[in-house]
Amino acid sequence: MILGLYNYWVVVVLMMIGLYIVIAHGNLIKKIVGLNIFQTSVFILYISIAKVEGGTAPILIDGVIQYSNPLPHVLILTAIVVGIATTALGLALTVRIKEAYGSIEEDEIQAKDNKEC
Amino acid sequence: MVMLSGIYGLLSASFFVVMDAVDVAFTEASVGAGISTLLMLTTITMVGRQEETERHKPILALVTVFITGALLVYGTLDMPYFGSKEAPANLHVAPHFINDSMKEVGVPNMVTAVLASYRGFDTFGEVAVIFTAGVGVLALLSVVRRPEDDAEIEAVNDSMHQQHLILRVLIKILIPFIFLFAFYVQFHGDYGPGGGFQAGVIFAAAIILYAMLFGLSTARRVINQSLIQFLSAAGVLVYGCVGLVSILSGGNFLDYNVLLSDPISGQHLGILLIELGVGITVASVMILIFFNFAGRKDGRPNDYCNQVNNSDINIETRGSK
Amino acid sequence: MDIVINIGSSVCLLLGSFLCLTGGVGILRFPDFYTRMHAAGVSDTLAAGLILAGLMLQIPDGIVVLKLMMILLMTLFINPAASHALAQAAMRNGHMPVLKKNENIEGVEQSNP
């Protein structure tokens, strides 16, 4: 049934929300939050691909036959940590931009850039 | 809005638990709902809380987003159903990991076995990325500290002690337990959910808690800055050295079978050492990032057109005051 | 004996969930910051305690009960401290409690962060 694909639709909805926030808002911190939402939706995509019906967590225990797929878990573990590194750097850049330009709105920064000094 | 993103991180961590990904849920809860919210709050302190101007043309963004979303939904119509056993993702390499990892690596937690042994190169790259992020934040935000700060901060500290008494007493009792938990997660990562990343983040969270309650300069005196910078590089170095020792003992880079006489013990030793390297680097980079964010409170906004050599002017005027 | 433990654990879990829900309703419906935090702090701590007690009764195995007991202890330490920290920060920043209905201490608006 088509309804068996609902996890992908949830992921697409979250991804589009994150994309909209990045495109449409001018405040730099809101863009970073939107990027975070986008990243988390990609994680949910991979983890939902890894789930196997009737499986449990991929830790070997006696008496369990069916496990979920451990490979996407590994990839997403790396991705989460890289995501936090990117967010930290983005926030550091935002602080410096605020010090240099005096504001964190995209329009004002571009106006200051275009103004001939 | 920042609080909502923290709640979102916690909710997605509970999603991951429902979908049987316990290691990932642990990492997302500690990193996404903890450290990320903390860093954003620190940034908002410096940048200003309520900046909202008119968003221009949301219609164009909405149309783009709808078209992209519709195309993506059309693209997912061919994908396998949620939880199916015959999905291509579950057919090729995963059965090999599930069936043979106990024989070849000997560690019950399959995610740790894959992360540390089968795909050790990826984890090496990841540690390098964390280290680079720490270096980047240092390059952007580090502040030269004046020695006459210390005396004045002492005075502030003593006067604040009375106000924060309950919290200070409580945190002094709790911090050793948080450290204990971080060590437990680090070394027990072979048998349950856990491992280097989560342990490093929990360790850093304990130190950040101390720094928040007792003042940044007291924390800086307790935790020496150059030691933390050295440790963040040392973790990556430990990881690389394990690989080099493998080469010198006759195997490939990061091949743990040749580290000791028995291959399974060699795997255990290799996984222990690299998880230690990962934990050290993650903890020290998180501490470094927080100290640099919090220590930046006295940066002044400058006029863009007069920007000759702004950071140098700032440091010099502060030093000559 | 089994039936008694099962019923006891179900009662604890249900009570805990009900308290969580009422705490949530309280956060939404109370008029002032301090009353909302009272709802969040008190009822959520008790709810977490009851849910953990229910879980302890579900699996009366040694090591699991010990771990759950430690989580309970940590929660009982940390939740009230967090509420205290929030209330103190609000008070220090000048946010005064609403004393009578429709009457404010001067200088503070009624809607809350």
Average pLDDT, integer, range C21-33: 87
The pLDDT assigned to B153 comes to 62
Task: Kindly report whether the global pTM for this prediction surpasses the value 0.90.
Answer: no
Chain B residues near residue A3 by CB distance under 8 angstroms:
none
Residue C101 resides in a domain: no
Chain B residues near residue C78 by CB distance under 8 angstroms:
174
The pLDDT assigned to B107 comes to 85
β-partners of residue B109 are A59
Alpha-carbon gap, residue B58 to B61, rounded angstroms: 5
The pLDDT assigned to B313 comes to 44
ipTM: 0.87
Ordered domains of chain A (ranges, CATH):
2-53+64-114 (1.10.287.3510)
Chain A with chain B: Cβ pairs closer than 8 A: 261
Distance between C103 CA and the closest CA of chain B, angstroms: 27
Q: Is B169 on the interface with C (CB under 8 A)?
A: no
Contact B228, B167 (CB under 8 A): no
For residue A94, what are the contacts with CB-CB under 8 A and spacing of at least 6? A28, A29, A32, A104, B43, B47
Residue C54 resides in a domain: yes
The pLDDT assigned to B161 comes to 65
For residue A79, what are the contacts with CB-CB under 8 A and spacing of at least 6? A39, A42, A43
Residue C23 resides in a domain: yes
Q: Is B165 on the interface with C (CB under 8 A)?
A: no
Judged by CB atoms closer than 8 Å, whether chains meet at B129 and A2 is answered as no
In the structure encoding, which two tokens stand for residue B226, read together? 């150059």
- Could you give the count of Cα atoms lying within 13 Å of B42 in the half-sphere of its Cβ? 22
In the structure encoding, which two tokens stand for residue A19, read together? 């994309």
pLDDT in 10s for each residue of chain B, 321 residues: 788 888 888 898 988 888 888 888 988 888 888 888 888 888 888 777 666 666 667 788 888 888 988 888 888 887 777 777 777 777 788 888 888 888 888 888 888 888 888 888 889 999 999 999 999 988 888 766 555 556 666 666 666 666 778 888 888 888 999 999 999 999 888 888 888 889 999 999 999 888 888 877 788 888 888 899 999 999 999 998 988 988 888 878 888 888 888 888 888 888 889 899 999 999 999 999 988 888 776 554 555 555 444 444 444 444 444
The pLDDT assigned to B284 comes to 93
pLDDT over 50 at C64, yes or no: yes
Alpha-carbon gap, residue B149 to B321, rounded angstroms: 12
Burial C75-111 (b: 16+ CB within 10 A, else e): beeebebebebebeebeeeebeebeeeeeeeeeeeee
Contact A57, B191 (CB under 8 A): no
Task: For residue C6, count other CB atoms closer than 10 A to its CB.
Answer: 12
Residue C77 resides in a domain: yes
Alpha-carbon gap, residue B43 to B1, rounded angstroms: 13
Q: Is B167 on the interface with A (CB under 8 A)?
A: no
Q: Is B3 on the interface with C (CB under 8 A)?
A: no
What is the span of the domain harbouring residue C31?
2-92
How many domains is chain C built from? 1
Better-predicted residue by pLDDT, C94 or B281: B281
Task: For residue C113, count other CB atoms closer than 10 A to its CB.
Answer: 8
Nearest residue to B34 (alpha-carbon basis) of B201, B168, B175, B182? B201
Alpha-carbon gap, residue C18 to C54, rounded angstroms: 13
**Per-residue pLDDT reduced to its tens digit, A55-108:** 788 888 877 788 888 888 888 998 998 899 999 999 998 888 888 887 777 777
Average pLDDT, integer, range A22-51: 88
Terminal-to-terminal C-alpha distance of chain C: 50
Nearest residue to B43 (alpha-carbon basis) of A21, A27, C88? A27
The pLDDT assigned to B309 comes to 43
